[in-house]
Structure 1
Amino acid sequence: MEKVSVVATRQLSDGGKAQRVYLLLSNEILRGGYAPGDVLPGEIKLTEMHSVSRVTIRRALTMLANDGLIERKAGLGTVVRAPAMSQTGISADFASLMPQLVRMGQATEARLISFAYVAPPAPVAKLLRLESGNVQRAVRVRTVEGAPFSHLMTHVPEDIAQNFSEADLATTPLFRLLERSGVIVDHAQQSISATLAAPDVAEALDVAVGTALIALTRVVYDKSGRGVEHLSALYRPDRFRLDMTLNRIGHQGERQWASVLEMGGNE
């Protein structure tokens, strides 16, 4: 991600500056830089730290309060609250991927946002190893106890996707639908990074535009090596956690850490 130069930062509108301060403070809170119960620096100190006006700081603090990350307490100041993760969070253990895919599908609800058959974007077609033909593109939001935690966009080759309907996608995890269609999954390739919420994603996940999200891309292949699913998933880090079990392996002097399985998402 490109760094914003000092000149560019000064040219931001008041709203843009408030958004930048909000992102910096929210990321600090979610990373544990400020623990629940800690008191944030006062408004004057924050203006000095971020080189912005008090109006900008107040806007950023309002956004943090709306997200439930802080609360104003008379006589005490701005206090950090415990993230919502403890109440409505979902966690995934790397070491038990497949069983958890099924359990997550059963424990969460999906809302279908869009559904269409389209020509695949070039990067998706390449990863699925498609030379021609359309794909089924579906966008869903998964929730737990009514709280959204993931935004999912899937691309599935048309001949496979025709075995299940738009209604099926709204009620059944895609992994189950693929199996029901006769697909025998052999392996998958997966990568994890981070990104910022675009306006449409921010609205779906109930976060501010530009909020930091966990980004996961997974491509699933069958025994012939054909791509059967491309998943692009975005997760709220305050409501989704990734756990990994590590084993110490090897002989004395050559021992190293190794994961049991690579991590998994919820589709």
Structure 2
Amino acid sequence: MSSTMEPLKARRLYLLLREQILSGEIAAETKLPSEPTLAQDHGVSRVTVRRALDKLASDGMILRRPGAGTFVNAGGKASMPVVADFANVLTHLVEMGRKTGVKLISFGYVAATPQMAEELGLDPGEKLQRSVRVRLIDGQPFSYLVTHVPERIGMSYSEADLASTPLLELLERSGLVAERANQVIGATLAGPEVAAALDLDIGAALLSMTRVVFEPSGRGIEHLQALYRPDRYSFHMDLARTGDDGARRWTPADAVRTAGNDK
């Protein structure tokens, strides 16, 4: 067997076993077959099996008990991803910031690109504060965040503040009001720097999000480019049917409740 095929086969076996564990097909506390049995069942070498199990163990999904075998971890961290409330995004941001850890990778001031200057409504020549952070849940990384804030706003807090406090909370402490946000969701692949920060293989699939937050005046106060591990982060939205017969559509449930309260 070609040595170049081993990592790919190990990745496939890892993803297969991981999906079986997350779906409940392999229940919590179940003892996995031995390495020779797994190798025979899946038509791979024991080296491939060992690599796949090593990855599952590093994710906290299995436990190796010397002399007893390998078991599915009942409290596996990877089975509890962060879930974002898509319809109430600004409240969720502050709550998530308080419940997760953060590692500040870089912090400084840069010139604004024409596109970002237009999106944020910057003054001519105004610089941006740029920060790169990695968020962690139970010590494991799940998001890579690149944030740009107008220089006049960024000067209100320090690098140490950003390393310990959610950015939206810092903005509100400085007297700013985050009234609304424009958000775009997509998908991308992990480059070398992001892959290393999120403990992934280069080229791994990621959720991507670009968000611009605005104050009541209409000027932007934050531009965020975020990349998420899809196994540790997901978006959630409750929907309700609205409109007259023949023109019914799905609408965020929170918006429906708010409209009802306004009547």
Query: 2:206 — aligned with what?
Result: 213
User: Which range moved further: 16-25 or 93-102?
Assistant: 16-25
Read off the aligned partner of 1:203 and give its amino acid letter: A
Q: Which of 70, 81, 90 lines up with 2:82 in the alignment?
A: 90
Tell me how far apart the structure 2 counterparts of residues 219 and 45 of structure 1 sit (CA, whole Å). Answer: 49
Q: In terms of Rg, which structure is larger?
A: 2
Query: 2:108 — aligned with what?
Result: 116
Query: 2:95 — aligned with what?
Result: 103
The TM-score with structure 2 as length reference comes to: 0.72
RMSD, aligned CA: 3.9
Query: 1:257 — aligned with what?
Result: 250
Shift of residue 34, structure 1, vs aligned partner: 6.8
Do the aligned partners of 1:22 and 1:64 also contact (CA within 8 Å) in 2? no
Shift of residue 235, structure 1, vs aligned partner: 1.7
Number of residues of Structure 1 aligned to a counterpart in Structure 2: 248
Do the aligned partners of 2:14 and 2:53 also contact (CA within 8 Å) in 1? no
Do the aligned partners of 1:189 and 1:219 also contact (CA within 8 Å) in 2? yes
Read off the aligned partner of 1:250 and give its amino acid letter: G
Do the aligned partners of 1:110 and 1:143 also contact (CA within 8 Å) in 2? yes
Shift of residue 137, structure 1, vs aligned partner: 0.5
Percent of aligned positions with the same letter in both sequences?
48
Shift of residue 46, structure 1, vs aligned partner: 5.7
Tell me how far apart the structure 2 counterparts of residues 196 and 19 of structure 1 sit (CA, whole Å). Answer: 20
1:103-138 superposed Cα distances (whole Å, 9 cap, x missing partner): 212212222111011123444334223343211111
Q: Which of 237, 240, 248 lines up with 2:241 in the alignment?
A: 248
Read off the aligned partner of 2:186 and give its amino acid letter: S
Q: Which of 231, 236, 240 lines up with 1:238 in the alignment?
A: 231
Query: 1:168 — aligned with what?
Result: 161
Q: Residues 72, 176 of structure 1: CA spacing in aligned structure 2 closer, same or farther, 3 A cutoff?
A: closer
Tell me how far apart the structure 2 counterparts of residues 22 and 137 of structure 1 sit (CA, whole Å). Answer: 39
Query: 1:3 — aligned with what?
Result: none
1:29-50 superposed Cα distances (whole Å, 9 cap, x missing partner): 6995976589999657867xxx
Do the aligned partners of 2:21 and 2:27 also contact (CA within 8 Å) in 1? no
SS at match of 2:222: strand
Do the aligned partners of 1:43 and 1:58 also contact (CA within 8 Å) in 2? no
Query: 1:193 — aligned with what?
Result: 186
Q: Residues 33, 94 of structure 1: CA spacing in aligned structure 2 closer, same or farther, 3 A cutoff?
A: same
User: Which range moved further: 64-73 or 153-162?
Assistant: 64-73
Do the aligned partners of 1:217 and 1:233 also contact (CA within 8 Å) in 2? yes
Q: Which runs of 5+ in 1 are unaligned?
A: 1-12, 263-267
Shift of residue 70, structure 1, vs aligned partner: 6.9
Shift of residue 190, structure 1, vs aligned partner: 0.3
Q: Residues 188, 261 of structure 1: CA spacing in aligned structure 2 closer, same or farther, 3 A cutoff?
A: farther
SS at match of 1:171: coil
The TM-score with structure 1 as length reference comes to: 0.71
Do the aligned partners of 2:38 and 2:49 also contact (CA within 8 Å) in 1? no
Q: Residues 128, 16 of structure 1: CA spacing in aligned structure 2 closer, same or farther, 3 A cutoff?
A: farther
Tell me how far apart the structure 2 counterparts of residues 62 and 106 of structure 1 sit (CA, whole Å). Answer: 31
SS at match of 2:179: strand
Shift of residue 191, structure 1, vs aligned partner: 0.8
